[in-house]
Amino acid sequence: MRQKLILFTVVLTGALAISLCTKPTSEDKMLGLLQESKQRAFNYQNNFCPDAQLMYLDSLLKAIPPTEVAQQFRVKHFKANVLLQLGRPDDAIGILRGLERNPGPFEALPGVMRKVTDDMAVAYLRFGEQINCVSNHSVDACILPIKNGGIHRNTKGSKGTVDIYKRMLAEKPDDYEALWLLNIAYMTLGEYPARVPKKMLIPSMDAEDPVAVKPFEDIAPDLKLDVRNMAGGVITEDFDNDGFLDLAMSGWDLSEPMHYFKNNGDGTFTDKSEYSRLSKFAGGLHMTQTDYNNDGFKDIFVLRGAWLGSPYGDQPNSLLRNNGDGTFTDVTIDAGLLSMHPTQTATWNDFNNDGWLDVFIGNETTIGANYHPCELYLNNKNGTFTEVAKQANTAVAAFVKGVTSGDYDNDGWNDLFISTLSGRRFLLRNKGISNGKVSFEDVTQAAALDKDQNRSFATWFWDYDNDGWQDILCGDYTMDYALSYYAAAERLGNSPEFHGQPVLYHNNHDGTFTNVTKAMGLDKTGFAMGGNFGDIDNDGYLDIFIGTGNPSYKSLIPNKMFKNVEGRGFADVTTSAKVGSLQKGHSVAFADMDNDGDQDIYIEMGGAYIGDAYQNSFFMNPGQSEHNWISLDLEGVTANKAAVGSKIKLTFTENGKRRSVYRVVSSGGSFGSQPFKREIGLGQAKTIDEIEIRWNGSGKVQKLQNIAANQFIKIREGVAAPEKVLIKKLTFKRTHAHEIPVCVPVAKASI
């Protein structure tokens, strides 16, 4: 017995020694940093941490004497709003009712009491949303115009909203926020427009689009892809190289783990979040894919800390290496990419043309806060990076909300465009290599992009008119009210100058740009947070889908889809496409998920608070036309292996007319990541006369002739013949009701 005890002691001591001597890995350190960031963010001074705020307010209420009626009132009012953020509208209503019954000294202040009443209306509205649209979710829920399965079965919330807003509008008829939400509430009851008081009616909210498309169908519930989370990011990409597009998604809160769904190639998806090891990592308002080590497997870059400022937003980003076996490993620290800046936006490209992907990160510097300049990390070709932003003249300090890269002047060097809430845009031209170093110059003024000084958010380079030159879209994000105000003002013909329109800059081919927003029919209320572009009908022209919103519960406006009409203008097709959800829209990705030749759309839904979490949507394209298409998977040799930044020109003859379509390999817009594989519409052309590829980095030009339409092909740099890829078309399998994957606690409502 004694010998066994001695042996056990020796073994235990040895194991402890080994354990104590084992150095923490890069991933271990990252997990520790994320936990520290989570603890630091749990603070009542963090505007996006209602849990901590509730604890603080409850302690205040206990300390405030009952005789201090005014102070009690203020704290209770604040608490009601915090309870709304936590998804407890019934508790909020109870407090607000009490404040209305006992206003104390605020009875003589109608402005204060109107705010209490307004908050009560919102609380009733939220109750209706939670009980009908979230807890009893259907694919029709919150799709404007609301009808069929979107009509609320439990009517308490909407009826309460209607009663309150009718009173408020009787006193102040020009309250556009109340007006919009009143009409929405009537719609949820199935009583729009018939029962809406004539003086309070916003007409034509259920009108058909002048230009119509076939309706998309939200099949996320059928495929168990309707993850419920707060705002976050999504990537559609073939992570395991089996030819089928998978899904990765994140939520911005550090309590929300990442998700990974493998496309099984049989019409189903499997949740591989745990197996892939991605569920170990939390947070990330946005993320992008890359292939930083040129191994042919797409990696993931997660961006954290946006909107929170210092110190709560001082969070690390994560580079997650794809191990090629279905798992990912965090290598951020070993790669030299660790920094602690608030951000949600980055763009990967080969900025020094050496055949390896670099990354530019747009950080958020706010007035009176810590300094958070943008970062540029150059790839050292050995798994590590070196930060060179200051030397390269790219260390912009602003409240950056979107960055995108592209070669706007066609000189073979990828440039940068930066969108900010600071009231400026930045166009940084890549001057190439000088003395062995890449450098940029600020050409914003020279490019005539300095005229617009309003706030902006989502952005991207693209060629909307197929002239071979990259244009810019930059979403206006200037606001003084909840977004419901602007939605009502637009319907009533009273829109202010800045109303969240997607601003479109046309490339003039001479280094300058012209704002063509109005001329192209995009002068419409949008307030894009997330967004991306794709070709929904395979006509060869790129269309737009944007996710709209802001943190306010009153900012219930539809996400928007705009169809490109042959490069001559854009038509709002939101209603006919049936994609205009009123819930907060964030990351957007176009992708042909079922390999049928047309692009579907996945959008990450949900707002900034636990109480505003919502189910994501997967809008399946029913097929808009008989147009033809081609899917190109490019593989670089001298260029980076993912071919990011490489330019594609397709020339074909359609109805006797020869035309060209231009694309660039990228993940798309600044908030949403779609596949590097290019899915390109050809209109009615059955044969592509020529495919021309200008490989990024080397600038080598490769041409292929007489390629048949409607197929998947792989093109390798320097290899004359393309490889035909046989991938089966999928029929997605429908299921019955299921338990929805939830990243945050389920908010409850009961009155």
pLDDT digits (tens, 9 = 90+) for 694-731: 999 999 999 999 999 999 999 999 999 999 999 999 99
Q: In this structure, are strands 246-249 and 234-237 parallel, antiparallel, or unpaired?
A: antiparallel
Residue 162 lies in a domain: yes
Token pair listed for 375: 């970062």
| CATH number assigned to the domain comprising residue 712 | 2.60.40.1110
Residue 30 lies in a domain: no
pLDDT of residue 741: 58
Residue 135 lies in a domain: yes
Model confidence at 581: pLDDT above 80: yes
Whole-angstrom distance, CA of residue 516 vs CA of residue 534: 20
pLDDT grade, residue 5 (50/70/90)? Answer: very low
pLDDT digits (tens, 9 = 90+) for 398-433: 999 999 999 999 999 999 999 999 989 999 999 999
pLDDT digits (tens, 9 = 90+) for 101-128: 999 899 889 999 999 999 999 999 999 9
pLDDT of residue 262: 98
Reported as half-sphere exposure (CB side, CA atoms, 13 A), residue 103 has a value of 14
For 606-617, what is the mean pLDDT? 96
Q: Which one, of 137, 249, 262, lies nearest residue 593 by Cα?
A: 262
Show which of 151, 167, 200 is a domain's final residue: 200
Whole-angstrom distance, CA of residue 115 vs CA of residue 689: 64
pLDDT of residue 333: 98
Show which of 144, 165, 200 is a domain's final residue: 200
Count of CB atoms within 10 A of residue 467's CB?
Answer: 14
For 666-679, what is the mean pLDDT? 97
Token pair listed for 709: 């339409």
pLDDT of residue 10: 36
pLDDT grade, residue 367 (50/70/90)? Answer: confident
For 223-234, what is the mean pLDDT? 96
Secondary structure (DSSP) of 724-736? EE--PPP-PPP--
Whole-angstrom distance, CA of residue 469 vs CA of residue 461: 10
pLDDT digits (tens, 9 = 90+) for 303-316: 999 999 999 999 99
Secondary structure (DSSP) of 161-227? HHHHHHHHHHH-TT-HHHHHHHHHHHHHTT-TTTTS-GGG--TTTTPPPSS--PPPEE-TTTTT---
Residue 178 lies in a domain: yes
What is the total count of domains within the chain?
A: 2
For 30-40, what is the mean pLDDT? 98
Give the 3-state secondary structure percentages of the chain, helix then strand then coil, rounded to 5: 20, 30, 50
Helical pair 110-129 and 69-85, crossing angle rounded to 10 deg: 30
Residue 686 lies in a domain: yes
To which H or E segment does residue 9 belong? helix 2-21
Whole-angstrom distance, CA of residue 129 vs CA of residue 122: 10
Give the three-state DSSP class for 134.
helix
pLDDT of residue 742: 54
Q: In this structure, are strands 617-620 and 217-218 parallel, antiparallel, or unpaired?
A: antiparallel
Residue 375 lies in a domain: no
Range of the domain at 109: 50-200
Model confidence at 21: pLDDT above 90: no
Mean pLDDT for the chain? 94
| CATH number assigned to the domain comprising residue 117 | 1.25.40
pLDDT of residue 362: 99
Residue 65 lies in a domain: yes
pLDDT digits (tens, 9 = 90+) for 631-651: 999 999 999 999 999 999 999
* Buried b or exposed e, range 551-588, using 16+ CB within 10 angstroms: bbbbbbbbbbbbbbeebeebbbbbbbbbbbbbbbbbbb
Amino acid at 490: E
pLDDT digits (tens, 9 = 90+) for 459-516: 999 999 999 999 999 999 999 999 999 999 999 999 888 889 999 999 999 999 999 9
pLDDT of residue 166: 98
Q: Give the predicted TM-score (pTM) of the model.
A: 0.94
* Buried b or exposed e, range 64-96, using 16+ CB within 10 angstroms: beeeeeeebbbbbbbbbbbbbbbbbbbbbbebb
Model confidence at 3: pLDDT above 50: no
pLDDT of residue 749: 42
Residue 476 lies in a domain: no
Whole-angstrom distance, CA of residue 311 vs CA of residue 369: 9
Between the CA of residue 220 and those of 15, 228, 234, what are the distances in Å? 48, 11, 14
pLDDT of residue 368: 78
pLDDT digits (tens, 9 = 90+) for 276-289: 999 999 999 999 99
Whole-angstrom distance, CA of residue 278 vs CA of residue 258: 6
Model confidence at 740: pLDDT above 70: no
